[in-house]
Each structure stands twice: as C-alpha cells, then as structure tokens.
Homo-oligomer: A and B are copies of this chain.
Amino acid sequence: MVILQLSLPTPVNPQTNGAITGLTSTCQKRSSKFHSTLPPRLFITNSHESQYPFSLFHPANEGVAAIVFGDGSESRLYPLTKRRSAGAIPIAANYRLVDAVVSNCITSNINKIYALTQCNSASLNSHLSKAYSGLGLGKEGLVEVIAAYQSPEYEGWFQGAADAVRRCLWVMEEYPVSEFLILPGHHLYKMDYQKIIEAHRNSKADITIAALGASRDQDPGFGFLTVNSENQVLEFRLKSESKPISFVSEETSRKCNDISNCYSSMGIYLINKDTVVKLLREHFPKANDFASEVIPGAISIGMKVQGFIFNEYWEDMRSIEAFYQANMESTKKANMGFNFFDIESPMYTLPRCLPSTLITDAVITDSVIGGGCILNRCKIKGTVVGMRAKIREGAVIEDSVIMGSDVYQMEDIQCGMNKNGIDIPIGIGEDTQIRKAIVDKNARIGKNVLIINKDNVQEGNNEANGFIISGGIVVVLRSAVVPDGTIV
C-alpha cells in the first residue's frame, strides 16, 4: 500500500519547478512565490519485475520512442521566454535549443519523437513541424508534436510532465515500442542514447535515470540519487534547503553516506512502456510530476530503478547567465563545451536557404556568424550573430548574443517609430556599442546607442523600455525599439 501526498507546486523553489516538471500547469512570469508543504511519504509494498527477457528485444535503434518536453526553465529564462518556450530559444546563431535533444535522438537512431508542448508553444511547434515532421519515405515523421489540448474528459491544461504523458498515452501507445525515453527539451549536451538503452536492457531495469556526477557545480533541480556498485538507485531525493526529502527503497535502508555514489538527476528517464502505463494509470493516477512523485513512487513500490552516469558537457539553461555562457562557449575555437562542428554527431535544425553573409570591412574576433547577415564596417568580438542580423557602420559588439531577425526588411518600409517619430529599422544602428548583452530577435536598436550596463546593475526590470538585466547581462526584448542615443 502506498500513501502519497501529491503537491503541486512541490516544496522546492518554484523557479526550479519549471525545470522539474518540464511542463508546469501555469506559465509563470518570473514570480517568486514560495510554498511550504510536507514531503510525501512512501511505503514500499511489493517488488516488481521487468516483463521483457532481454533476448526478445530489438536492436537498440528500434523499440524506443522519445518523449521530449518543450517547456522547461520558462520563468528562469524570462524574457527570452516571453513569446516562446525554452526549447525554441535561438542558440549559436543557426539553432534552437530543442535541436540539441532532437539531434541526439537522430544520432542515436531513435526514429520516433513525441514533443509535448504547452507554454508559449507556437514558435516551438512551428519549428519542430517544419524541421522534423516531414514524411520521409511514407514513414511517420520523425517528430510528432502533441500540443496541450482540451478534451471532453480533461478540460484543463497539462498539470506537469507526468500528467502530460498520461493524457497523451493513448496516442503514444499506438506506436510499437518497448521503452519510452523521457527527455527535457531545453538542455544542451551530446549523449548517445544507445548507451543508456543498452545499460537499461542489460540490467533489466524498470526505469533508468541519467545522472551527473554530484561534484558539478550545478543545481539541476531534477533531484539526486544514490546508487550502489551495480548502479541501482538506492535513494532518490529532491533537494530542499531545510530538510532533504528522501525515498529509501525497501531493499536497503543504508544511508547515502558515500558521497561518491551520489549523483544529480538530469531529468532523463528511460522507462519500459508497460511500466509507464502501470505507474501513470494504476499506481499513481493523480501524480503530475516525475521527479517528485512518479520516480520516488516507483522506488517505493519496489521497481528496479537504475542510474546511468554521464560525465560530459551538459548545460541545463537554468538561468539567463547559463544561457549566455553556453553561447559564449560556441564562439571559442577549441570549445570545451558543445561542438557544433562535430561530423560524428552533427547538430540538425531547420534547413534554410538564406543568402550568404555579406561583410563590408569588419573586424571579427572569436565570433559565430549565422546565415544571411549584413555586417557593415563594424567590430564584432566574442559574439554570436544570428541569422539575418544587420549591423550598421561603426557599430561595436562585444561578448554579446545578437539573435538576428526572422525577416528581411525592405529599407524603404520603416515600421518602428521611436518617440521622436524617427524610424528605426530592424538591426543594430550606426555607431552603437553593445557589450555583454543579449539582443532578442527583430529588435530595432537605433544609432549611437550604448548598451553596456553602465551602472553595473545585476538584476533589473525595465521591460517598458524594452530590456531587463539579469545576472549583469542586459537582455533586449524581442521586437523592442531602442531609440537613438539611448544609454543602458
């Protein structure tokens, strides 16, 4: 018998909540409400055995469908997420965040991906559909987007990642697979999922959780797990400042003393298909979240839960600063982070036929330049310059992320009027200087503008004037108009 207190939001930092659940029931706008609830208590009642003998399995590239969550660190990445979900944020000029996870799936020979989306999903759905939903030889498309929807049974939104999976199970059940691979869609990393699939099948686990070495200076918010020498998860707990919530399996009550066996979860779960169905429909039919409810619940009822340790580059985009750093990494030649030029595991995205980038007398240092840009007599250093960016004469851009534009403007059609009635076109104006900033798409930045965080503000919201400051980084909003001569 199991007693589970299901709370939502869970007793963790609510900004973390977005990342935990993948899909929150409400898109939060940088709120900071804290809740205090008692941790759920779990009693283990019986053990459970995997139904599939290994010999029946297909090769690793068959039999697994991925479930990707388009939502993620929405509130933490505001205002980049004002009009788009975390997965749709442009990164490294030519890509969107979600491309990293989809590319991992392609490289790992996973041919079916369900993308579950809800918050500000228009851009993400559009990107995924255009890039990955095409037919391809009469087969099903690679990515199938399942946007949150109303139905006669459920009138509300998805209440969390587990609820989303439960409500979409009727669609996903039809595809003949043995396991589902549940993936947050806004993380940047390269993983060959075939390895976790192989480990999962070899260990005959019900659930395998990918986890990072705990020594990393990160707060993934997906919980922590302690494993034994066979990588079986002995304990799973969500981080809490006051008091750890721990779920100890029946098999052992040994305390997690050995810090070397403690890892932080990456929010990646490989679960047998029938295990998912039983967990969500029978055992925990009201659970909304995996990390706080379903996973500890599964351990509590004796399911075999394994850990899969991952020690390479992984970035969960837990803040504007983390996003900024990931972009900065991409501008370095011998990058320590994510290799966008790797021919073994290429990064896929929407193929485009943009014009070549036209550069007039520019000095460009340690930068990444997207397609179709027009760069005129400017200085660019340590900067990511996105597609169709237009940077005008005399501009100096340093250590910044310029996301570019969705469209080209005809020069004679001026649509952005500033307060003085002077037109400001999309792009960066003449003699403007930008340092350590993120300029979102379609922004219209005038002439002689200084965006240098003059007063060295760490956090500040000036959304009315088109920007906010987060972690000392100025973020100019999408389609914002910054008049000539503005100093930030």
Contact = CB atoms under 8 A, between A and B. Distances in A.
Interface residues of A, dominant DSSP = loop
Interface in A89-121: 92-94, 106, 109, 117-121
A347 B352 contact: no
B93 A356 contact: yes
Contact of A94 (B152, B344, B355): B355
Interface residues of A, number: 91
B134 A146 contact: no
B360 A151 contact: no
B359 A364 contact: yes
A106 B410 CA distance: 20
Contacts of A367: 358-359
Interface of A: 26-29, 61, 78, 82-83, 92-94, 106, 109, 117-122, 125-126, 129-138, 140-142, 144-152, 155, 157, 168, 170-171, 174, 330-331, 333, 340-341, 343-344, 346-372, 374, 376, 384, 406-410
Nearest to A149: B121
A156 to B, nearest CB: 9
A299 to B, nearest CB: 30
Contact of A136 (B134, B140, B344): B134
Query: How many chain copies does the complex carry?
Result: 4
B369 A356 contact: yes
Q: Top 10 closest A-B pairs, CB basis?
A: A147-B147, A351-B351, A29-B152, A93-B356, A138-B353, A129-B129, A129-B133, A121-B149, A27-B150, A340-B355
Contacts of A333: 358, 360, 374, 376
A155 B355 contact: no
Nearest to A374: B341
A356 B92 contact: yes
Contacts of A171: 122
A29 to B, nearest CB: 4
